[in-house]
Amino acid sequence: MKEAYDVLQQYKDAISKKDHGQCAKLFSQLKRLFTKLPTFLSPTSDTPGRAREAILVRDTFEHACLETASRVPQDPQGALAEFGRHYEVLRTYYEDFTDVAPSERRLLVLGLNLLRLLALGDSKSFHMELEGVGLEDQETPYVKDVVQLERYLEEGSYNKLLDARKKVPSADYSPLMDMLLDTVRRGVFECAPTAYTSLSKTAACGLLMFTGAEAEKQMGDYIRAENERRRAQAEVTGESYTEAWKEDKGRFVFREETETHVKKDALPFDSIMRQQLDFAHELQRVV
């Protein structure tokens, strides 16, 4: 046990230094040490060290969740998948070790897991997880704020989503919030050409959720990067590629006015996009 405690402290130090390579090595070492603990392989074991063992393992996997969440910007899919595996281990310690002192980080990790599911666009799993959360826990900021985010998405209230990014209950939420915004932005980017014949730059900034003095530059950089990503993807799959977002005389022109216009009600995930698309439409009327 002492060796495991020592390695755990080293692990926490590596997390604070953002030394992800060292984190991976130390976490692997901890898992090997845990296999020697009776309760790790058999949670129902009634041993003298049950409580200490449970808290040690739980503490480790909670920190593992926080560490993987911080790696989302570098490896979104890989980090979130790893977070999911860590959380499944924690689920056992949250549900099967009720006789052990509760964790102060449980609600933080629970909220992060819900936010992870939102960022992945897995609405079904999000609601299944939420159903298992007690009413008292749902009223805490860690959970309540994520539930509010899901409502903003359903309403298409992207301005509120941007504001929520500045008011996260923990800095640990920030990487996942950024991924959530990027997921929504990419969905809007892909659907806008079917909703409009053209967009002014001002309307496009609003649609793609870029604000502030650098909004147009940030939007331009994003569109170029996204066009390049889609072009590279098409080359890999062998599919034809047509650049949808083309700038012409200060506007983004998607198609000729005479082409068939797709109704907004027929758009993919319309429940998410309706308000933002209407917002962009209103901007076009005044720009």
Which residue, among 271, 76, 91, has the nearest Cα to 179 in the 3D structure? 76
Q: Which stretches of the chain drop beneath a pLDDT of 70?
A: 255-287
- pLDDT recorded at residue 278: 54
Q: Tell me the three-class secondary structure of 137-188, residue by residue.
A: HHCCHHHHHHHHHHHHHHHCCHHHHHHHHCCCCCHHHHHHHHHHHHHHHHHH
Which residue, among 148, 167, 48, 54, has the nearest Cα to 101 in the 3D structure? 54
Give the C-alpha separation, 277 to 204, whole Å: 10
Contacts with 129 (C-beta within 8 Å, 6 or more apart), sequence order? 113, 114, 117
Which residue, among 128, 163, 135, 132, has the nearest Cα to 149 in the 3D structure? 163
Residue 14 to residues 49, 102, 137, 215, Cα–Cα distance (Å): 27, 25, 31, 36
- Tens-digit pLDDT profile for residues 28-84: 999 999 999 988 888 888 888 899 999 999 999 999 999 999 999 999 999 999 999
* Residues 137, 143, 147, 152, CA torsion sign: positive
Place of tokens 């650049």: 243
Give the C-alpha separation, 153 to 180, whole Å: 10
First-last CA distance in the chain:
67
- pLDDT recorded at residue 276: 53
Give the C-alpha separation, 205 to 283, whole Å: 10
Give the HSE-up count for residue 113: Cα atoms under 13 Å, Cβ half-sphere: 27
